């Protein structure tokens, strides 16, 4: 039967052109709306993905700015406290003089301990900042993975909605046979 279709196309040159035009019309009728629907779906998915990524960037930027402001404020507060305590110690040492030399030495030891504490506190703050950055990065990565999973899911839905090639080939073959039978009857 496919040979009959080929013979009909070769034998009647005008009939082949008409058949091709009929096939083009049938394709447009059958699949035109699906293609436009798929294009609209892809456009909506792309818009949603772009909007979600922009929202995620904005939220991340806000969180990092907030975190940076908090850390700066805490570090400045600690520095102010250390400076204030150092100034008080220096004044106390001046006022007590020789009589309080032993007390001055004890205060120096305490100051050293405070510096160690300050250093340790700064290390702890840096570690906490690093941990929060890692957590935020993990959240961002998770959000990105979730968005990619949603996109893959949407793409899978679109693929499952499309007609496969073998079904289309069978449909076109059947239509060609019917058209050639109609041509043969006329």
- % helix / strand / coil in the chain, to the nearest 5? 95, 0, 5
- What is the rounded CA–CA span in Å between residue 153 and residue 158? 9
Question: What residues contact 98, with CB distance under 8 A and at least 6 apart?
Answer: none
pLDDT at 96: 66
pLDDT at 100: 62
174 phi and psi angles, rounded to 5 deg: -65, -40
* DSSP symbol at 156: H
Pull the structure tokens for residue 107. 């205060």
- With 0.75 as the threshold, say if the pTM is over it: no
pLDDT at 58: 93
Average pLDDT per 10 consecutive residues for the chain, totaling 186 residues? 43 70 81 79 92 92 91 90 86 71 76 87 91 91 87 75 69 86 76
Please, what is the angle between helix 101-161 and helix 13-96, to 10°? 170
């Amino acid at each position: 039967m496919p040979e009959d279709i080929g013979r009909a196309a070769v034998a009647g040159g005008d009939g082949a052109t008409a058949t091709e035009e009929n096939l083009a019309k049938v394709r447009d009728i059958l699949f035109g709306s699906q293609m436009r629907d798929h294009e609209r779906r892809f456009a909506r998915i792309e818009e949603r993905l772009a909007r979600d990524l922009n929202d995620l960037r904005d939220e991340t930027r806000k969180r990092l700015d907030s975190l940076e402001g908090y850390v700066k404020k805490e570090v400045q507060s600690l520095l102010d406290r250390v400076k204030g305590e150092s100034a008080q110690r220096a004044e106390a040492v001046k006022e007590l003089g020789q009589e309080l030399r032993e007390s001055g030495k004890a205060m120096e030891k305490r100051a050293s301990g405070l510096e160690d504490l300050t250093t340790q506190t700064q290390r702890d703050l840096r570690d906490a900042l690093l941990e929060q950055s890692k957590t935020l990065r993990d959240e961002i990565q998770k959000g990105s993975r979730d968005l990619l999973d949603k996109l893959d899911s949407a793409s899978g839905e679109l693929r499952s909605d499309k007609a496969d090639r073998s079904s289309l080939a069978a449909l076109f073959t059947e239509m060609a046979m019917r058209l050639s039978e109609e041509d043969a009857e006329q």
